[in-house]
Amino acid sequence: MAGLFGLIVGSHLATIALRWPVGRSSAMGRSACDGCGRTLRIAELVPLLSWLILRGRCRRCSARIDPRHPAVEAAAAGLAVLMAWTLPPAAAIAGMGLAWTLLLLTVLDLDHYWLPDRLTLPLLAGGLAVAAGGVGPDLTDRAIGAVAGWGVLAAVALIYRRWRGRDGLGGGDPKLFGAVGAWVGWQMLPTVLTIASVTGLLVVLAGAVARRRISAATQMPFGPLLALGAVVGWVWVGR
């Protein structure tokens, strides 16, 4: 049931990720093919299954369906199953909300290097609200985590800018780390940051092995790495 619900949520998340950055509403208007503009039928909107049946192409014009649709739907379903399988019901439901928000932030950061305040700040508030409901770490630890998470990466960004004369972290990264702290508490922040940093280094190493050109100026979105650490952290503390 969690997986099926995750597929439905993932379908909406993919629509938001594709429309929001270009100023299109995800709540208004019928879904249509990006190639020919044909309004899609209900049978063509079944998450993941329709994409598989259509082989990733529009039925009329054969235009390629954006692969982010099935990818986000599958990821949202997988995250829902992970939470439902590993956590008590209340922590699992809260964790799904956390994971789905992080998934949307991941797609936006990968595509546009963008971690909007309209997602990170409510995520922070949501973490504190869940603490008030008695799920996961206590409110004090999470409030400290929110301040510490923002402060650590804000300090790193400031030091890097003074040292190298250019930005090394985007303005959304400290806010996201603060939001993560509001969910997992301050004690888990070093683990989250370690997971994010080691994963980033592995990505860079894989790029070097593949002989991709990598320099000190090469950009890498840090939000998805923090999101990975946050999901692991919540699965740990939510038990």
**pLDDT recorded at residue 215:** 72
Distance between CA 99 and CA 128 in Å, rounded? 16
Is the domain of 120 the same as that of 66?
no
Residue 91 is assigned to a structural domain of this protein? no
- Domain housing 43: 1-86
**pLDDT recorded at residue 212:** 82
Is the domain of 143 the same as that of 225?
yes
Is the domain of 76 the same as that of 120?
no
Is the domain of 144 the same as that of 237?
yes
Is the domain of 71 the same as that of 123?
no
Distance between CA 2 and CA 143 in Å, rounded? 29
Running DSSP on this structure, what letter comes out for residue 171?
T
Running DSSP on this structure, what letter comes out for residue 66?
P
Residue 41 is assigned to a structural domain of this protein? yes
In tens digits, what is the pLDDT along the chain, a chain of 239 residues? 999 999 999 999 999 999 999 998 877 667 888 778 788 888 788 999 999 999 899 888 888 999 999 999 999 999 999 999 999 999 999 999 999 999 999 999 999 999 999 999 999 999 999 999 999 999 999 999 999 999 999 999 999 999 988 888 999 999 999 999 999 999 999 999 999 999 999 998 998 888 788 776 778 999 999 999 999 999 999 98
Is the domain of 68 the same as that of 138?
no
Residue 107 is assigned to a structural domain of this protein? no
pTM over 0.75: yes
Evaluate whether 32 touches 40 at the Cβ level (below 8 Å): yes
Residue 49 is assigned to a structural domain of this protein? yes
Number of domains the chain contains: 2
Distance between CA 234 and CA 167 in Å, rounded? 30
- Nearest residue to 204 via CA among 190, 220, 224: 220
Is the domain of 33 the same as that of 149?
no
